[in-house]
Amino acid sequence: MSAATRCGFFAIVATLGCSGPTNTGRPTCPPDYAEDTERAARVGARLSSVPEGRELTRYLDTHVMCFAEGGIGVITPTHQLLLASELDDGEDAARLGHLLVHARDGLPLEEDEAPRRHAALDCDARVAQALDREAVAHVVEVRLQAALDVRPRRHAFEFTADVLASPNEAEAIALVRRYLDAHPTGAPGIDGLAAGYRQRCAAGG
């Protein structure tokens, strides 16, 4: 398993082995990722070019964009935004918006101050919260893809048409939430979020 994989999965990663904020308080990129300032500027500009993404860009001030071939597209507890360098800037911008929703609303599976093993019932509640937050972020990503006229390669979702046809935001979020429940081990464009979060919770993460 590569350092990049060790340092991120299921939209939130453990901090062990990952680079984090330096003594200046600024986050740095983990092993196998690079801070490409030119690409970061382009991706950030694409996100801010549409109203759906402009408000989210304010959270960039406290985060660092990191790129790698095959990047996993997650946000870490140490304020790293791990993105794929081989994707179109627009697809990365839409994914960036997804990740910044987590910066705004809270990481899907919030970390305890002192990691511990959780009771099954507690994990039920934590996983449900994580999937609620993922549903919101995926709806934002779909709407950003549409606004940016993106033809996604990696983050192409089966529910895209239904989200765009939904009469309101609440219905769109609800249908994605049902989809995540129905596909706990993954689906096109999506990792096994429900299974992954449950495994991490049971392990004390």
Q: What is the pLDDT, as a whole number, of residue 3?
A: 33
Q: Which amino acid is at 145?
A: Q
* Positions in the chain whose pLDDT score sits under 70: 1-25, 111-121, 205
Distance (Å, rounded) from C-alpha 3 to C-alpha 114? 24
pLDDT at 8: 38
198 neighbors 127 (Cβ within 8 angstroms)? yes
Per-residue pLDDT of 62-91, as tens digits, reads 999 999 999 999 999 999 999 999 999 999
CB of 107 closer than 8 Å to CB of 168: no
The predicted structure's pLDDT at residue 202 = 87
Quick one: pLDDT at residue 21?
52
Q: Is the CB of residue 160 less than 8 Å from the CB of residue 179?
A: no
- For the chain, what is the largest distance between any 2 Cα atoms, rounded to a whole number of angstroms? 48
Helices (H) and strands (E) in the chain, counts: 8, 3
Residue 44: phi, psi to the nearest 5? Answer: -65, -40
pLDDT at 119: 52
Cα-based distances in Å from 39 to 52, 66, 126? 20, 10, 35
User: pLDDT at position 168, please?
Assistant: 97
Distance of alpha carbon 103 from the chain centroid? 9
Report the C-alpha gap between 66 and 29 in whole angstroms.
6
Q: Answer whether 129's CB lies under 8 Å from 64's CB.
A: no
Q: What is the pLDDT of residue 122?
A: 86
- Three-state secondary structure of 126-191: HHHHHHHHHHHHHHHHHHHHHHCCCCCCCCCCCCHHHHHHCCCHHHHHHHHHHHHHHCCCCECCEC
- For residue 72, the model assigns a pLDDT of 92
